[in-house]
Chains A and B, each alone.
Chain A
Amino acid sequence: MQTPAPFEYERATSLAGAIAALKAAGAEARVIAGGHSLLPMMKLRLASPERLIDINDLESDLAYIREQQGEIRIGALTRHAELLDSELLAEHFPVFRDAEEVIADPVVRNRGTIGGSLCQADPGEDLSAVCAALKAHVVLQGPSGERIVAMREFQLGPYVTVVAPDEILTEVRIRTSPGAGSAYEKVERRAGDFAIGAAAAALEIEGGTIAAAGVALSALAPTTIEITRAEELLRGARPSEELFEQAGGIASEDCAPMADGRGPVDYKRHLAGVLTKRALRRAAARALQTEA
């Protein structure tokens, strides 16, 4: 039987109350939302928080997907199933639906949340790469107010983020833009597993030229990794198979995979190249509305 180490449990009834509870409890408290990353870690005793602050009762404040001030804003307690089903999200950022279709299974997706996924900062987690490619920002709320952090500065290492012990990630913000296209490509050992490797791509195409580009990989480095050299290559160029092939080549060189049960390094570098190329190809087709 897998049983977490003992802990104390409390339910937050407001966001301010949850932050106050975190502050009072100190560094050994953790927020629990869907629990589908944290509870497995606790069962394996890889995490042993002394106190859990359950924020599931804050759905009316923290579960939403809406368009506001030129951004799509996603509440941290929005569950995977809602991200998958959202037409608003699919319209602006189809990369979310691509990723959600291959995250775990429908029953797990009924519980897991976007905030929990990002804060877990598992190097093989999908939404972190999605949000990095989209150059999303996250809102962190703490006792002294809120701060906004770029997704690309969010992870400090595997399973470690900039979120302070008394802060809660409350919202994800992504700027919308006409001419945007995005896609996610993942290879896994079996349906619903963590990726062997995955690539997220986001392009903005204006007048036939790539005005902005984001490329991020999952499971191909010790953290989510952005391929900035590929982004620089893409920016200002006209989309083409040769360009995407070159960008894939850079991803293959710049990723930093480790050999494990999912495959050796050379295979994973190969995957990084192929998946980056495919994701860019689909992102461009969506931006140009030529997707087959």
Chain B
Amino acid sequence: MSVQITVNINGEDVTREEEPRKLLVHFIRETPGLTGTHWGCDTSNCGACVVLMDGKPVKSCTVLAAMAQGHQIRTVESLERDGRLDPVQQGFHELHALQCGFCTPGMMMTARALLDANPDPSEAEIRTAISGGICRCTGYKNIVAAIRWAAEHPATVEQEA
């Protein structure tokens, strides 16, 4: 039986008739223009599906869309604003922090939440923060460096509070 579910994604309400069993990751990805959130292991291990829920990173494969109603969801598409990259995106670009790109949206959203809470994280803090994400290409070194780069270049883009 379908019910009406409204989820606020990147500041806009998205309303659809869905079964309650619809997972948030699929609700997001089936919204036109929002396939940046990746659907990976489906078992809350890999972190490719990480989005922010009220500013905190969550694995959207293990949240029901219905449970996200009334909460603010932020996906990777919200990072770039008016054609200008978020410092996290710029850092990934500058320091070559991705190869295949599959883990990247989850890594970047986790990094964004980390920097919002802790603008000057140590390497150890960065490594702990991204430990819920699996990258099979980079060996993490460049991802950690990219997040440090973003921490050191916060003013390159104006960010909303």
Contacts and interface: CB of A to CB of B under 8 A. Distances in A.
A35 B63 contact: yes
A5 B21 CA distance: 7
B42 A107 contact: no
A16 B153 CA distance: 50
Contacts of A105: 47, 131-132
A4 B131 contact: no
Interface string A1-40: 1111111110000000000000000000000100110011
B26 to A, nearest CB: 8
B69 to A, nearest CB: 8
Contacts of A67: none
Contacts of A2: 42-43
Interface residues of B, number: 27
Given A2-B43, A43-B42, A107 B20 contact: no
Given A105-B131, A106-B128, A191-B131, A40 B3 contact: no
Given A2-B42, A6-B19, A9-B20, A107 B64 contact: no
A108 B63 contact: no
Contacts of B20: 6-9, 52
Interface stretch (B30-38, B53-61, B138-146): B53-61
- Sort chain A's interface into a size bin: 20 to 34
A111 interface: yes
A269 to B, nearest CB: 29
Interface in A108-166: 108, 110-111
Contacts of B129: 106
Give the interface centre of A6, A36, A105 by most chain B CB atoms within 10 Å: A105
Contact of B58 (A1, A6, A8, A111): A111
A192 interface: yes
Contact of A8 (B1, B43, B47, B64): B1
Contacts of A111: 58-59, 62-63
B131 to A, nearest CB: 5
B28 to A, nearest CB: 15
A7 B21 contact: yes
B66 interface: yes
A54 B67 contact: yes
A32 B132 CA distance: 22
Contacts of A108: 44, 59, 62, 132
A107 B63 contact: no
Contacts of A4: 21
B89 interface: no
Interface of A: 1-9, 32, 35-36, 39-40, 43, 52, 54, 56-57, 104-108, 110-111, 191-192
